């Protein structure tokens, strides 16, 4: 129930405006968001690189309603790729399709992605298409499949809480697409998503095994230590080298787990968000783990 409430609040504009201007919230957000400027994101990348991890940069923002906003969002990523190359840091970029105009026009979204992917290709870099709520799933996959036919430096995300995910994953593997596998962080109706966390976890393990056996470099995105251990055991049992996949973790969450995985010799990528539009992302992080919510409340009442 609490998770459902937080996910509902993540889409409420009035509450968003209040929270974004409330100083206590902003101080707590600093744990999960690297800052509001690209420079903040790059500094966070430098730090995780120094600790043995790689990164992916995400400029926060979603569901734009005007074509000019979508073009402006793409321009931020073009600048980010230029600065990544200039600073010689080890990170790619993750981009939400609705930030590039998916809900305005799929062709606009694909055009904006094309600019980013081509710039990344100039620098031998990579672009990950994020996955949003289930209303966007098919359109996102349509754009990805079109782009994947032309570019090999674009990947996508599959969320294991959706019933459709195994079929989608099989189709992406046929295209030799690179996948980030995660559980999913949006409020979904029972008609499209598994209602029980155990079912989501079981589907995660099933899809993870398919991915690792594919011979394609994929990302296993979870902080669930049980699933991480299952992944390690499966890879070892099937003689899958540690450097043939990566674990992906969120910035500011379970840093001790990040360090342990790096020490064990696994590739670890940290998802580092930056930007002013942090409220939806922040609220979804609170919904995912009770520990995050308790951290927020503890700091809230200290103020």
Q: 22 with 61, same domain?
A: no
Query: Beta-strand (E) ranges in the chain?
Result: 54-59, 91-95, 127-129, 154-159, 178-182, 218-221, 245-250, 267-274
Catalytic positions are 130, 180
Kindly state whether residues 239 and 272 are assigned to the same domain.
yes
Calculate the CA 160 to chain-centre distance: 14
Domain ranges, residue 163: 36-277
Question: Looking at the structure, do residues 21 and 150 belong to the same domain, yes or no?
Answer: no
CATH classification at residue 81 = 3.20.20.220
In terms of domains, do 15 and 153 share one? no
Residue owning tokens 């503890």: 298
pLDDT, tens digit (0-9, with 9 covering 90-100), for 169-200: 999 999 999 999 999 978 899 999 999 999 99
76/150 same-domain check: yes
> Do residues 289 and 162 share a domain?
no
DSSP character at residue 239? T
Asked if residue 17 and residue 159 are part of one domain, the reply reads: no
- Examine the domain organization and report whether 269 and 291 are in the same domain: no
Work out how many domains the chain is built from and give that number.
2
Whether residues 163 and 76 share a domain: the answer is yes
Indicate if 12 and 126 belong to the same structural domain.
Answer: no
Hey, what are 232's tokens?
């390690």
Read off the pLDDT of each residue in 120-147 and give the average, rounded to a whole number. Answer: 97
One domain for residues 104 and 129: yes
Instruction: Please indicate, yes or no, whether residues 137 and 155 belong to a single structural domain of this protein.
Output: yes
Q: What is the pLDDT of residues 255-285, one digit of tens each?
A: 999 999 999 999 999 999 998 876 666 666 6
Q: How far is CA 11 from the centre of its chain?
A: 18
**DSSP per-residue string spanning 45-89:** HHHHHHTT-EEEEEE------SHHHHHHHHHHHHHHHHHHHHHT-
Lowest mean pLDDT among 9-13, 26-30, 219-223, 242-246: 9-13
């Amino acid at each position: 129930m609490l998770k459902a409430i937080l996910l509902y609040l993540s889409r409420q504009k009035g509450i968003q405006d209040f929270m974004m201007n409330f100083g206590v919230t902003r101080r707590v957000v600093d744990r999960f968001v690297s800052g509001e400027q690209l420079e903040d994101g790059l500094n966070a990348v430098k730090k995780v690189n120094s600790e043995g991890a790689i990164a992916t940069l995400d400029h926060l923002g979603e569901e734009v309603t005007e074509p000019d906003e979508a073009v402006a969002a793409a321009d931020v990523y073009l600048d980010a790729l230029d600065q990544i190359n200039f600073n010689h840091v080890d990170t790619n970029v993750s981009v939400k399709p609705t930030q590039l105009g998916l809900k305005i026009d799929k062709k606009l979204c694909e055009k904006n992605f094309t600019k980013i992917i081509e710039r990344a290709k100039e620098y031998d870099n990579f672009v990950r298409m994020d996955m949003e709520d289930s209303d966007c799933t098919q359109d996102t996959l349509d754009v990805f499949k079109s782009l994947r036919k032309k570019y090999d430096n674009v990947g996508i995300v599959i969320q294991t809480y959706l019933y459709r995910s195994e079929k989608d994953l099989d189709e992406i593997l046929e295209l030799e697409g690179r996948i980030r596998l995660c559980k999913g962080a949006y409020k979904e109706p029972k008609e499209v998503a598994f209602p029980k966390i155990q079912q989501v976890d079981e589907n995660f393990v099933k899809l993870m095994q398919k991915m690792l056996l594919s011979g394609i470099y994929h990302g296993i995105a979870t902080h669930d230590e049980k699933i991480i251990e299952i992944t390690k055991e499966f890879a070892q049992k099937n003689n899958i080298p540690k450097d043939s996949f990566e674990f992906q973790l969120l910035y500011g969450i379970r840093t001790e787990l990040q360090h342990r995985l790096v020490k064990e010799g696994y590739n670890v990528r940290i998802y580092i968000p930056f930007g002013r539009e942090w409220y939806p992302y922040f609220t979804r992080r609170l919904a995912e783990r009770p520990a995050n919510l308790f951290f927020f409340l503890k700091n809230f009442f200290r103020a």
